[in-house]
Structure 1
């Protein structure tokens, strides 16, 4: 499953131009919480010809529309995705759940890397550097989550004040939680 955004203008335009109005709603979920109401609608189209969108291995095109209502103000957001699985293996219910789990990963890992560890401000862009630094950033996030931290920024500040605790935990034969 690949999300298609404006940085792929040709594919994005192709997906947006598909006959979505004629496609029945495959799945719809409604959630409330945190002072908002959210409705997610999933539509999926099987791509008939191999390479029909000019993107390798696409079996289905997906449109997910998210409608948020917060304090009486409603906003709508549409996301387009391509899927390499045929409809028999990836129903709209599955597609909606998978897309949502991707946002869960985005919020739990990438947001922490971007905001807490300032990944976007880093200058390493070539060779193995980006992969090495991503691994170095993932290590404390995983360490803190394993030790039950829910706020990685707070756990990082606490660890910065007690570096010997981290060294002991990493070098101890039977690590314990903080």
Structure 2
């Protein structure tokens, strides 16, 4: 993920300001913001402070002829940058520097930027839907849901931004929609979709094909996993089959449906009796074994503990109170860019927060992060 590549893609974003009023180049403002967030800056004032302390370093990469923009300038410009063009630039950058191998899992999931909610201005919190490559832990693209819509309408727009050929796209139950499945197949990818009551015909077919008595004595392909963590034990029992007669009437609705499966999970805390069993259902175009489905389902949740958790804990995204114009959405994308850079640097064996602090302390290490 070379810095010149990122700046090349960001250069497509037009500068909305009147040319004769421009004191700081838009590329310098974007470059400063990304680099400051990589080093742990959390607001416009901290980004400005970073710029003053690292001006010599920044001039190795950008112009900065007029020095560092003020925090007011940063806030105003980032609030007015075209969010869709920044979104496209990010996705194109990731296409250029990230090759998804055949069978790679791309998890689609949403996250609410809680700090963007403003009661006084009757402004709802922004909800972003991201595509996450689980193999190397990077964000491939993201899109904001419309205020009066949800992930169902946002996911197709996100998919259009991505090169998914040969990948296995995993989505939770909200994204289990016929149009989304068709679009994934048109883009040359496989799908693995969670099924709930929002698709009643599918849910009924699963209940008929996989009642608990059948799962408990399953004669087909099955796979069990057991995870122990901090006194908690969770057991998961996975079963899969080809499309059985219960699903025959649905094949024409769900493109190229080949595999159906169920996961039964039990959770136990210490010496307490296990919780009631939870059953989840899945459909897929890919011909998956029970073990392959188990790994794919588990990798889907990496988007929670390897993306959303880092954004909240390491970058304190939910604590951010930036709300002006498009600034919250644009800064959310900057967080994703910064996280991709930090995860791309693998020689230093530290967590994201530790990498941020090291980058803030060492210009040599920051240069290494920018060059990965």
TM-score, normalised on structure 1? 0.67
- Give the corresponding residue for 1:39: 235
Q: Which structure carries more helix by proportion?
A: 2
> Greater CA radius of gyration, 1 or 2?
2
Residue 352 of structure 2 is aligned with which of 134, 144, 152? Answer: 152
Q: Report deviation, 1:42.
A: 0.8
Residue 203 of structure 2 corresponds to residue 16 of structure 1: yes
Contact 1:3 1:82 in 2 (8 A): no
Q: Please report the RMSD computed on the Cα atoms of aligned residues, expressed in angstroms.
A: 3.7
Q: Which structure carries more strand by proportion?
A: 1
Residue 285 of structure 2 corresponds to residue 84 of structure 1: yes
Contact 1:35 1:70 in 2 (8 A): yes
Please give the secondary structure, in 1, of the residue aligned with 2:274: strand
Aligned residues: 164
Q: Distance in 2 between matches of 1:124 and 1:98?
A: 30
User: Unaligned 5+ residue runs, structure 2?
Assistant: 1-167, 179-194, 321-326
Higher relative contact order (CA 8 A, sep 6+): 2
Residue 259 of structure 2 is aligned with which of 52, 60, 64? Answer: 60
Please give the secondary structure, in 1, of the residue aligned with 2:257: coil
Q: Report deviation, 1:91.
A: 1.3
User: Unaligned 5+ residue runs, structure 1?
Assistant: none
Compared CA separation, residues 117 and 93, structure 1 to 2 (3 A): same
Deviations, residues 59-106 of structure 1 (Å, cap 9, x unaligned): 1222212211112153344333222123xxx21122112222333464
Contact 2:240 2:290 in 1 (8 A): yes
- Give the corresponding residue for 1:141: 343
Contact 2:342 2:369 in 1 (8 A): no
Residue 113 of structure 1 is aligned with which of 297, 308, 311? Answer: 311
